[in-house]
Amino acid sequence: MSALIVAAEANIAQQVAFWFLALIAIGCALKVVTTAHVVRAALYLVGVLGSVGCLYLLAAAEFVATTQFMVYIGAIIVLIIFGVMLTRAPLGPMPEVAEEKRVGGALVALLLLAVMGYALIDGFSDEGLGPDDEIALLNGIDPESLPDSLDISEVNNRFELAEAIAEADLSDEEIAEIEELPLTNTQVVADSIFSTYIVPFEAVSVLLLAALIGAIVLARKE
Amino acid sequence: MLLNQFLLLAAALFCIGVYGVLVRKSGVLVLMSIELILNAVNLNLIAFSAELGAPLGVSGHVFALFVVAVAAAEVGVGLAMVLMLYRNSQSIDLEKIDLLKG
């Protein structure tokens, strides 16, 4: 199984997966903003979030994908559905779109899409998804630091490195050394959050606490 | 895969979210469209992070995680406000909330 490949080699399986997920995401998103049922809009949003989560997996961001499924779909959507229930939203169809704003809104959205699309195509055409240099492909692991008995001449990315490690016959100290290396993106993210980004991490904790207290204070009965 | 595929998909989702925010009448639906926008931004971050590769590109993943956390906080507070609105005026139709109108 190979990781992200530079644009020169088109990988059919990746393209099929990408377009399948992209069409589901766009279709469900369009239904979120046009449907007349509120509860169905929430469920179409689940479709969007799920397909975007799978797109994260396609881009080798497994920790963010797991977080997306657990936090976004598992908590935020549930919160939204509770909000729908507590505000007695009608369970049948209701005209949920302001008729006179529809044309203006569509124009603004299309204009925005045109401008952003032009900027993106002009700026990033033909750039492949996937790092080019060896160190980045191996998640920052220096090939010199791996034990000599490991054959890494054919290893192109961290997935093949993990396979090579699993198949090789290593002594116990070599295994202990290798366990420290960041083989998965999750390890790199974890190292990063608790060293470089520790202050934003704590700040987000305080933010969540403030939001929790704020929501309780706002919504309690007098 | 091209980087542009992810970026254009994120731009499309963003614009659909913008349309939803402009056009929807109910407060809860506006919050759902805002979630679409935030997801488009996250997709962009993950795409650029994949282009750079670890260890430099992991900042994109960390940023995306913080965006998810902030989105959760925002939806919580936003729904509390919608609930208060419903309690005071018995409807969450944003067209009818025009007390500040001249």
pLDDT by position in tens, chain B (length 102): 678 889 999 999 999 999 999 998 888 999 999 999 999 999 999 999 888 877 778 899 999 999 999 999 999 999 999 999 888 888 778 878 888 887
Q: Do A137 and B35 touch (CB under 8 A)?
A: no
Instruction: Quote the pLDDT of residue A3.
Output: 42
| Chain segment A153-177, per-residue pLDDT in tens | 666 667 777 777 777 766 777 777 7
Mutate to test the interface with B, among A4, A20, A33 (most CBs of B within 10 A): A33
Instruction: Quote the pLDDT of residue A134.
Output: 61
Q: Are B6 and A59 in contact (CB under 8 A)?
A: yes
- A 151-210 residues with CB < 8 A to B: 182, 185, 188-189, 192-193, 196-197, 200, 204, 207-208, 210
Mutate to test the interface with B, among A62, A70, A87 (most CBs of B within 10 A): A87
DSSP string, A85-138: HHTT--SS----B-TTHHHHHHHHHHHHHHHHHHHHHHHHTT-BSS--SHHHHT
Alpha carbon distance B3, A126 (integer Å):
8
Q: Tell me if chain A has a CB within 8 Å of the CB of B41.
A: no
pLDDT lower than 70: segments of chain A: 1-10, 95-98, 130-157, 169-170, 222
Q: Do A101 and B22 touch (CB under 8 A)?
A: yes
Alpha carbon distance A170, B3 (integer Å):
38
Closest chain B residue by Cα to residue A121: B4
CA-atom Rg of chain B in angstroms = 17
- CB pairs below 8 Å between A and B: how many? 278
Instruction: Quote the pLDDT of residue A140.
Output: 66
| Chain segment A75-85, per-residue pLDDT in tens | 999 999 998 88
Prediction pTM value: 0.87
